[in-house]
Amino acid sequence: MSAFAGKRVLLCVTGGIAAYKSAALTSALVQRGAIVDVAMTKAAEEFVGPLTFAALTGRQVYSSLWDAPESIPHIRLVREAQVALVAPATADIIAKLAQGVADDLVTSALLAARIPVLIAPAMNDAMYNDQATQANLCTLRSRGYEFVEPESGFLAERETGIGRLASEDAILQALETILARTQSLKGKRVLITGGPTREAFDPVRFVSNPSTGATGIALAREAALRGATVTLVLGPTHLAPPAGVEVVDVVSAQDMYDAAVGPAQTADLIIATAAVSDWRPETTSPQKAKKGEGDLDVHMVRTPDVLAAIGREKHTGIVVGFAAETENHETNAREKMARKHLDAIAVNDVAGGRGFGAQTNALTVLWGTAGRRDLGAASKEVLAARLLDCIINDVTSD
C-alpha cells in the first residue's frame, strides 16, 4: 500500500514559474492515493489556473479567504490535513511566513498550521542567496518548518544556478518521511507532566518556580501529531494546552503525584518535564498570615517525588526525565537517571534563568551507560520533535 493512501495533503501553490510543476506533483500524489486540497495565491493563478488543480484533485480549489467563508477555510484546511506542502515557495512567501504576515488565504492558513509544513523553495539564484532570504530561511527552520532544498540547474531567466524547484521524487520522498513520522506513535499511550507546582503557605502566598509548562505543552502537541493518545498533567500556567490532548490540571506536588503515578503504569511512554517543587511549608495557614515586626521562620518538608515513583513503579513503559542543572550538568543528570530508574534524561543548563519561560532552549539527551545525543539549541517546538525522534530512534533501539 502506498504511504500516501488516504493521507490528507494541503498543497499551497505560490506565484513562481515553477507553479506548473505543482500540477504534475498533484497528479502524482493523487495517483498514490492522497487526498489533496490545493490553496493558491493570486500570483500563482497568473501561471496555472485553478481549474487545472480542480480537475486533477476532483476537489474545490481555494484562492481567497472568501471561498466558502462559512467554513472558515484557512482554519479548516490545516485542521483536516496531515501535512502542508508549499511548492513552489517564492522568496515573497518565505519572507511573509518569517514575519508572520497573514494577508491572504495561503499565509493565513500556514500561520494557523499545527501540522508539519514542508517548504520547497524555487526562485532565481540571486534571490535565493540574498542575505534577507537566507535569514528568513533560518528563522523558519528555527520554528520547525521543514525544507526540501532547491536544485542547481537551468533557471527561468535562462541562467544557471541554484533555485530550481526540487525534483518530484525528492519532494515525494520528503513528504513520505514526514507522514511516516506523524504515525510513529500511533496506538501508543503517552503521559507527559509539565509546568510548575505551587505549595501554599497561606491562601495568597506559595512556593513555586518560573516554569511555564511550554516544553510539556510542545511535547504533548508533537506526540498527538504523531498519532499518540496523550495525557498532559499540567501545573498552573497561562499557556493554552494543545487541542486533542487530555489535560489534567493540578496545583501542588501531591496533586501531580496523585494524577500521574497511577496512569504512568499503563503508559507506553512517560516524559516528565514538570518542575515539581521539592519542598513545601509544613503547615498552611487557613487565613492570610499578617506581617509582624520580626522575621518569619517557615519549616519546609519534602514533597512526594513524582518522577522517582514513576520510575520505581513503571511496568513496560519508557520513562524519560528532565534535569535542569546549573553546574556539572551531565554528571548530575546521569546520577539522577540512575537514582530514579529512568530510561533516559534530557538535561539543560538553567544558570542565569535560561530555559524557564524562554522561547528557546538547548537539550542533551543521555541514556544507558554511554548514550548521548546533543539536540542543539532551538525553539521548544523544534526540540520537542527532536526529542521524540531521539527517544524513538535511539533510546528504544538500544
- Identify the pLDDT of residue 351: 62
- Identify the pLDDT of residue 185: 92
Tell me: pLDDT of 28 over 90.
Answer: yes
Angstrom distance (rounded) from CA 225 to CA 341:
28
- Identify the pLDDT of residue 69: 80
Tell me: pLDDT of 64 over 60.
Answer: yes
31-40, 262-271, 287-296, 305-314: least confident range: 287-296
- Identify the pLDDT of residue 279: 93
Highest mean pLDDT among 276-280, 325-329, 377-381: 276-280
- Identify the pLDDT of residue 353: 54
> What percentage of the chain exceeds 70 in pLDDT?
97
Sign of CA dihedral 373, 376, 380, 381: negative
- pLDDT category, 295, cuts 50, 70, 90? confident
Mean pLDDT confidence for 72-92: 95
Paired with 40 in beta bridges are: 13
8-182 and 189-281+295-395 share one CATH topology?
yes
- pLDDT category, 357, cuts 50, 70, 90? low
- Identify the pLDDT of residue 374: 93
Topology adopted by domain 189-281+295-395: Rossmann fold (3.40.50)
- Identify the pLDDT of residue 313: 82
3-state secondary structure of 368: coil
Question: How far lies 256's CA from each of 96, 259, 279, 303, 382, in Å?
Answer: 42, 5, 14, 11, 26
Domain 8-182 has CATH 3.40.1190.20: no
The pLDDT mean for the chain works out to 91
| 321 neighbors 272 (Cβ within 8 angstroms) | yes
Interhelix angle 214-225/380-390, nearest 10 degrees: 60
Tell me: pLDDT of 301 over 70.
Answer: yes
Secondary structure of the chain: what % helix, strand, coil (to 5)?
A: 35, 25, 40
| 37 neighbors 59 (Cβ within 8 angstroms) | yes
Grid cell in block for residue 139:
528563522
Grid cell in block for residue 329:
550538568
393 among known catalytic residues: no
Q: What is the pLDDT of residues 46-56, one digit of tens each?
A: 999 999 999 99
Question: How far lies 242's CA from each of 18, 210, 234, 350, 395, in Å?
Answer: 36, 21, 12, 25, 26
DSSP 183: T
Paired with 118 in beta bridges are: 85, 146
Tell me: pLDDT of 397 over 80.
Answer: no
Strands 35-40 and 246-249: unpaired
Grid cell in block for residue 191:
503521559
Strands 279-281 and 205-207: unpaired
27-41, 75-89, 284-298: least confident range: 284-298
More confident residue, 60 or 158: 60
Among residues 209, 348, 361, 393, the one annotated as catalytic is 209
Paired with 146 in beta bridges are: 118
Q: Is there a cis peptide before residue 88, judged by omega within 30 degrees of 0? A: yes
Q: What is the pLDDT of residues 162-198, one digit of tens each?
A: 889 999 999 999 999 899 888 889 899 999 999 999 9
- Identify the pLDDT of residue 246: 95
Instruction: Report the candidate in 356, 365, 362 with the shortest Cα–Cα distance to residue 208.
Output: 356
- Identify the pLDDT of residue 160: 81
- pLDDT category, 294, cuts 50, 70, 90? confident
91-105, 236-250, 284-298: least confident range: 284-298
- Identify the pLDDT of residue 398: 63
Angstrom distance (rounded) from CA 78 to CA 90:
20
Domain boundaries, the chain: 8-182, 189-281+295-395
- Strand residues in the chain grouped as ranges (E): 8-13, 35-40, 61-62, 83-89, 117-121, 146-147, 151-154, 160-164, 189-194, 199-202, 205-207, 229-234, 246-249, 269-272, 279-281, 300-302, 318-325, 344-349, 360-367, 371-379
Angstrom distance (rounded) from CA 230 to CA 51:
41
More confident residue, 67 or 171: 171
Q: What is the pLDDT of residues 258-279, one digit of tens each?
A: 999 999 999 999 999 999 999 9
